[in-house]
Amino acid sequence: MTKKEIDKSLHKIVKESLIDDIQNGTYPVQAQLPTEADLCRRFNVSRTTVRNALQQLVNEGYIERTQGKGTFVSNQRVKQTLSSTEGSYMEQLRLQGKKPTIKVLDFTVIPSDVFLSHALEIDEEEPVHQLKRIRYADDVPLQYEIAYLPWRLTTTLKKDECEGSLYHMLRHSMNLPIAKTVEHLHIVHAQEDVAAQLDIPLHFPCMQIETHAFLADETKIEYSIAYFHGDKASFTIERHYDRKELKD
């Protein structure tokens, strides 16, 4: 094993040991971690190894480093992978040891206005389902979303079915599998309704994802806007490339 491989193995050991300490409460939220020198002595490793391990913990949201003050355990954010497909919300939260739940706040049929008719590519005044939901992680509000679906395609949609994965239900109960989504990510300041639903201060920074969902024939089946608690959510974007197409 090369020195580089040994160093990589050592900082992985340091990192995973500190994660265990955070998760078992040895270092609770907002607790200060030992100094780099103390960690070097504890693990019998170099300062470079400790710094590499700490930087990875920063990148993954476990800790925060404050210049001149030290290293502290952060409020861990729920991580979601944007490139995952249906059912991923429940699955990803459970893998992180969180209890996921979805609460339906409103389920009504409304006439589409100019904006919605354009967003869903339907006639103005055509009826649409309006669905408002909150997603929770361990009973803490994480995401507030408002979705719109053409009523003529989803007439059998029921409120209680929307307390799980909407896309899973569309596929398996209504034979309307989502073939593609186009999503736009923005940073916004919470307005009154969003602030109230996410239990955050007015104008608090939020992540907003605007989604257009399509069936295989390019029919638009859903338009939605979701707001995520800025302190409790983080996102991973995974991309795959064909090596043959990569150029220097």
CATH, residue 44: 1.10.10.10
Same domain, 45 and 137: no
| Residue 94: burial class (beta carbons within 10 Å; 0-12, 13-18, 19+) | exposed
- Summarize the confidence of residues 227-244 as an average pLDDT: 71
The pTM of this model reads 0.66
Residue 205 and residue 223 in one domain: yes
Instruction: Judge if 67 and 122 occupy the same domain.
Output: no
- Residue-level pLDDT at 194: 94
Q: Which amino acid is at 74?
A: S
Which is higher by pLDDT, 248 or 110? Answer: 110
Residue 182 domain-assigned (yes or no) = yes
Point out the domain boundary residue: 73, 100, 116: 73
Of the three residues 73, 91, 107, the one that is the final residue of a domain is 73
Long-range CB contacts for residues 43-52, cutoff 8 Å, separation at least 24: 43/10, 43/13, 43/14, 43/17, 45/10, 45/11, 45/14, 46/7, 48/7, 49/7, 49/10, 49/11, 49/14, 50/11, 50/14, 52/7, 52/11
Q: What is the mean pLDDT of the chain?
A: 84
Q: What is the pLDDT of residues 134-169, one digit of tens each?
A: 999 888 898 999 999 999 999 999 999 899 889 989
Q: What range defines the domain where residue 177 resides?
A: 78-236
Provide CB contacts within 8 A for 238, sequence distance 6+.
Answer: 81, 82, 83
Domain contains 122: yes
Q: Residue 87 — pLDDT band, cuts 50, 70, 90? A: very low
Q: Are residues 62 and 152 in the same domain?
A: no
Give the pLDDT band (50/70/90) at residue 239: low
Same domain, 34 and 102: no
Number of domains into which the chain is organized? 2
Q: What percent of the chain lies above the pLDDT cut of 90?
A: 46
Supply the pLDDT for residue 66. Answer: 81
